[in-house]
Amino acid sequence: MESNTASSDVQRYQVRKLEITDKNKGFMELLQQLTVCDPVTDEEFEKRFQELKTYGDDHVICVIEDVNLSKIVATGSVFIEKKFIRNCGKVGHIEDVVVDSSARGMQLGKKVAGFLADHARLTGCYKVILDCSDDNKAFYEKCGFKQKEIQMVKYFI
């Protein structure tokens, strides 16, 4: 019986790249659970979606859709920085990981982080990095990350 539940969860929660129709599936509302996220029009969403699409594998947004509800319940992104150091190496930067409050505790955040880290590895990155709050440190350690150094920020707005 346990394997049927696991199998039905795999079918229920689809891990994939962001699609243009995801705005209508609660994608922007989900981001509001992470940080300040002002409403965007359909036109603004489509313009940004098309812009990000031009970056190909250098900028990927992962979503998890609850197909039973047609709702985006988790997301995160990774962008690939091309460097001169490390033999012109590449570094993946993970950003904006969030799981809907109604779907937490089901390992969906771990699936998003894994999808994004795998993408970075498969595109030739020598490492993948992210910033997180102290509250999320233990979660990312469970995903295979370790603390290194200190984050600094300078806001312009």
For the residues of 20-31, what is the DSSP string, one character each?
A: GGGGGGTHHHHH
Answer whether 82's CB lies under 8 Å from 90's CB.
yes
pLDDT digits (tens, 9 = 90+) for 142-156: 999 999 999 899 999
Neighbours of 75 (CB within 10 A): 24
pLDDT digits (tens, 9 = 90+) for 48-63: 999 999 999 999 999 9
CA distance 98 to 129: 16
CA distance 42 to 156: 26
CA distance 137 to 134: 5
pLDDT confidence of residue 7: 65
Q: Phi and psi for 61 in degrees, rounded to 5?
A: -110, 120
Q: Which two tokens stand for residue 70?
A: 């047609």
Neighbours of 66 (CB within 10 A): 20
Q: Which two tokens stand for residue 9?
A: 């969860």
Global confidence as pTM: 0.92
Is 90 exceeded by the pLDDT of residue 29?
yes
CA distance 106 to 94: 20
pLDDT confidence of 1, banded at 50, 70, 90? Answer: very low
pLDDT confidence of residue 4: 60
